[in-house]
């Protein structure tokens, strides 16, 4: 294994979160809040590390960190995070569509081998399955109407909901929409380079090329949506399967997925530890500056 390529890939895992912090601060500015860049960055580092323990809890945690250390209302910052996720999903969908068009035969083969084709999934549904699914959908809709009309919780939480709504729409008021887009692209370019450069660590992947890495990256991105720590298990399976479609042996593909995922997850954990150590110091500095201003 050529470890120098792994070392070169690691900074891009950091720059992705750095761009995410810049974009987050830009979205909060129209709402009247300008958290320190160090706080936003450490909040994101800590959120991803925490999600290794409890998947998906990090998005809520980072809003809490910003509220505690830089006095940004939780509901408003949460609204901006939801908007971020929508923007990220649009980018991933556009990237996926482009890659799918370029590599249609490979994707069709992937769906067939993994049993993810629409026909295969529908064939596993029995008549009872369709009835149960339809019933669940109807029940969820009816419960939603019941909650909206019968419970006064929404009225009591009006201020919080309005703050969340303001956060959701904050992207419309950013100073430079082009800069917001550039930050978003910077995040995903960094993620891709973080993954792609690891191909040069192994002799069985270094010659596969840019497009193969792009296919594996897209498939792996969707695999991470499975609520496991950093997509563990699902990401390994997805990446290994894609590599096998391009002629990599099963054992080699599994080795690649294991080594890359382990090291990149360790980086996330390390950044979380650093953030946890830096944030209390950041709080003390913030209090000191506030006292000076007063």
Tokens of 71: 């006095």
The CA distance from 41 to 129, in Å, is 45
Residue 191 near residue 184, CB atoms below 8 Å = no
* Whole-number Å distance between alpha carbons of 114 and 119: 12
Q: What is the pLDDT of residues 1-29, one digit of tens each?
A: 899 999 999 999 999 999 999 998 888 88
Quick check: helix, strand or coil at residue 188? Answer: helix
Q: List pLDDT tens digits, range 158-194.
A: 444 444 445 445 566 667 888 888 999 999 999 999 9
Mean pLDDT over residues 142-163, rounded? 54
- Assess whether pLDDT exceeds 90 at residue 75: no
Q: Are 94 and 221 in contact (CB under 8 A)?
A: no
Q: For 61-86, what is the mean pLDDT?
A: 83
Whole-structure pTM value: 0.76
- The ranges assigned to domains in the chain are 10-293
Is residue 32 helix, strand or coil?
A: coil
């Amino acid at each position: 294994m050529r470890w120098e390529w792994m070392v070169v890939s690691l900074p891009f895992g950091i720059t992705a979160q750095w761009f995410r912090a810049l974009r987050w601060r830009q979205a909060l500015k129209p709402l009247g809040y300008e958290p320190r860049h160090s706080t936003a960055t450490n909040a994101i580092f800590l959120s991803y590390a925490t999600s290794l323990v409890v998947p998906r809890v990090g998005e809520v945690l980072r809003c809490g960190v910003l509220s505690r250390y830089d006095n940004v209302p939780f509901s408003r910052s949460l609204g901006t995070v939801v908007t971020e996720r929508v923007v990220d999903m649009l980018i991933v969908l556009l990237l996926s569509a482009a890659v799918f068009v370029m590599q249609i035969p490979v994707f069709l083969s992937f769906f067939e081998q993994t049993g993810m084709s629409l026909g295969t999934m529908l064939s596993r549904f029995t008549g009872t399955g369709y009835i149960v699914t339809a019933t669940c959908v109807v029940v969820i809709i009816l419960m939603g109407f019941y909650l909206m009309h019968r419970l006064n919780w929404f009225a009591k939480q009006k201020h919080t909901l309005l703050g969340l709504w303001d956060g959701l729409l904050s992207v419309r008021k950013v100073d430079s929409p082009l800069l917001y887009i550039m930050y978003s692209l910077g995040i995903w370019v960094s993620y891709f380079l973080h993954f792609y450069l690891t191909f040069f660590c192994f002799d069985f992947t270094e010659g596969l090329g840019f497009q193969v890495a792009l296919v594996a990256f897209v498939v792996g991105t969707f695999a991470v949506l499975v609520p496991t720590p950093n997509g563990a298990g699902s990401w390994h399976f997805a990446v290994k399967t894609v590599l096998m479609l391009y002629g990599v042996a099963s054992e080699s593909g599994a080795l690649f997925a294991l080594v890359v995922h382990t090291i990149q997850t360790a980086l996330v954990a390390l950044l979380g530890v650093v953030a946890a150590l830096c944030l209390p110091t950041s709080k003390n500095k913030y209090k000191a500056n506030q006292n000076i201003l007063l």
